[in-house]
A and B are shown apart, each in its own frame.
Chain A
Amino acid sequence: MKKILSLFLALTIIFTTGYSSNDNLVLDEPLEPFHEEHPKGN
């Protein structure tokens, strides 16, 4: 029962986050936050 619940939770989260399975483990998004680059301080 516990296992079924865990699986259900995993699937719910996967569907709500919009994640789609991919055999090559290619990410949906790059690790984007560090690839914007800020200007320098003054």
Chain B
Amino acid sequence: MTQSELSEGIISVSYLSKIENGIAKAPEEVIWFLCKKLNIELHSIDHKKIENICKDWFMALFNQEQESTHTLFKEIEKNRQSIPSNSLLNLVEIHTLRYYLLHKKQNEANEQYKKLKRISKQFDDKERYYWLKFNGYYWFRLSSYNKALSYFQKAERYLHVTFYEIDEEEYSLYYMIALSASYAKNARIVYEYASKSLQYYERKVKLKQAADCHLLLGITFVRTKDFENAMESFSLAQRIADTIEDKSILATSLQNIGNLYSILNEPKKAITYFKQSYDLRDNTHSKIIPINSLMIEYYKTQEFQKANYWLKTGLNLLSEDKTPSIYKYELKVYNQLINGIVEKQFERLVLNEIIPFLDKREQHHEKVPFLEVLANYYFENRKYKLAATYYNQALQIKTNL
């Protein structure tokens, strides 16, 4: 059909040209008449358009693109009624949970989670995959790593139905399985899944992701006391971070090397690495990790003034932050160790605050050092019965693990 045939009786040929070239914007009734002449159903255009927006949004969420996920979400909200099928609508609802988690909107995520849970029985396989995967992210965000791990593993059974590039989806899920297994202290699963992901990312020359896998493997080697391989993994991550100039991965690599030297009882080297890691960080929140490490390292070497300096730095940094965190508790414990213990306060801090905090998050392994600190204190003060009680509790956790 020529331009003049199409425009006849509707608009001028020159106006049609301008519309085609994007110079003029056509009013809705003009589009309606043009579509009628071309035998195109207007709805099908809207449907196709919204379908593509949804797919772009899913992809942007997968790639964690903060800005475009936000813009596309607004667009979808406006056109929600045009979403052509129930299945796409369900996928949008499920991805909305991921969107809230990515943008750290926890209250909205909680509401969306409840909503999805009510309708989850009717999900087909594809919907179920994303529901299970995002369930994993939801619990991961709440630091319930065992739960997160179990949902990521359930999602693995539905990997065949995803519609992004299948490899990308598969290995991103494997990485999340390895990461949550690492938090859940399951060395076997970390090793299996981080190794699989690493091979894939190396093959695809995705260096950032490969460095993340090296870090996970390094942490697992440290825990299984394979220090040589641990150092090699951290050094590889460090080298990649240097190459791609990724400050965040570099800071994490240096922190882990520092931690390894600390375990190997080489405090001077540990301190050097912790300081380098500290200097690289712009984000105030992430600074707390090397700060606490430096405080403890100086405490171990009995340089109490320096330990106190890092203690104060940490307390200042977290003074505005009202949410409880393990780092804050650690500072409180060392505040007493460095500046003198007030017995009742110390006992209350460990038993009534820290232990329930860790119990709630199923971080049982992390209770051990705090119970031992308390037991050491009682032992030093010749309260052997209390010391025995808490050594025993720590020992039981170690044995169970």
Within 8 A of B (CB), among A1-42: 3, 6-7, 9-11, 13-14, 16-17, 19, 21, 23-27, 29-42
Check: B395 CB closer than 8 A to any chain A CB.
yes
Verify B255–A10 contact, CB threshold 8 A.
no
How many residue-residue contacts, CB under 8 A, span A and B? 120
Minimum Cβ distance to chain B for residue A9 (Å): 5
Within 8 A of A (CB), among B350-398: 365-366, 368-370, 372-373, 376-377, 379-380, 384-385, 387-388, 391-392, 394-395
Verify B384–A6 contact, CB threshold 8 A.
yes
For the complex, what is the distance from the CA of A19 to the CA of B387, rounded to whole Å? 12
Check: B137 CB closer than 8 A to any chain A CB.
yes
Minimum Cβ distance to chain B for residue A22 (Å): 8
For A6, the closest partner residue in chain B by CB is B385
For the complex, what is the distance from the CA of A14 to the CA of B382, rounded to whole Å? 13
For the complex, what is the distance from the CA of A36 to the CA of B154, rounded to whole Å? 28
CB contact under 8 A between A10 and B182, given known A25-B376, A35-B259, A42-B209:
no
Within 8 A of A (CB), among B33-69: 64
Minimum Cβ distance to chain B for residue A33 (Å): 5
For the complex, what is the distance from the CA of A26 to the CA of B211, rounded to whole Å? 35
Q: Which of A19, A25, A39 sits near B391, CB closer than 8 Å?
A: A19
For the complex, what is the distance from the CA of A10 to the CA of B182, rounded to whole Å? 33
Chain B residues with Cβ below 8 Å from A41 are: 137, 140, 176, 179
CB contact under 8 A between A10 and B369, given known A35-B262, A41-B137, A42-B176:
no
Of the stretches B17-25, B114-122, B297-305, the one at the interface is B297-305
Of the stretches B6-14, B77-85, B212-220, the one at the interface is B212-220
For the complex, what is the distance from the CA of A7 to the CA of B386, rounded to whole Å? 10
Chain B residues with Cβ below 8 Å from A3 are: 385
Within 8 A of A (CB), among B92-151: 137, 140
For B294, the closest partner residue in chain A by CB is A35
Chain A residues with Cβ below 8 Å from B333 are: 31
Residues of B near any A CB (own CB < 8 A): 64, 137, 140, 172, 175-176, 179, 182-183, 209, 211-212, 215-216, 219, 222, 248-249, 252, 255-256, 258-259, 262-263, 289, 292-293, 296-297, 299-300, 302, 326-327, 330, 333, 337, 365-366, 368-370, 372-373, 376-377, 379-380, 384-385, 387-388, 391-392, 394-395
Would you list 30 pairs from A and B whose C-beta atoms are within 8 A, ordered by A residue? A6-B388, A9-B392, A17-B395, A19-B372, A19-B376, A21-B379, A21-B380, A25-B337, A26-B302, A27-B296, A31-B369, A32-B369, A33-B366, A35-B258, A35-B262, A35-B289, A35-B293, A35-B296, A36-B256, A37-B255, A37-B256, A37-B289, A38-B183, A38-B215, A38-B252, A39-B211, A42-B172, A42-B175, A42-B176, A42-B212
Sample of 4 further A-B pairs with CB below 8 A, known A14-B379, A36-B219:
A6-B385, A30-B300, A35-B262, A42-B172
State the 6 A-B residue pairs at the shortest beta-carbon distance, nearest first: A10-B388, A39-B212, A10-B384, A31-B369, A30-B296, A13-B391
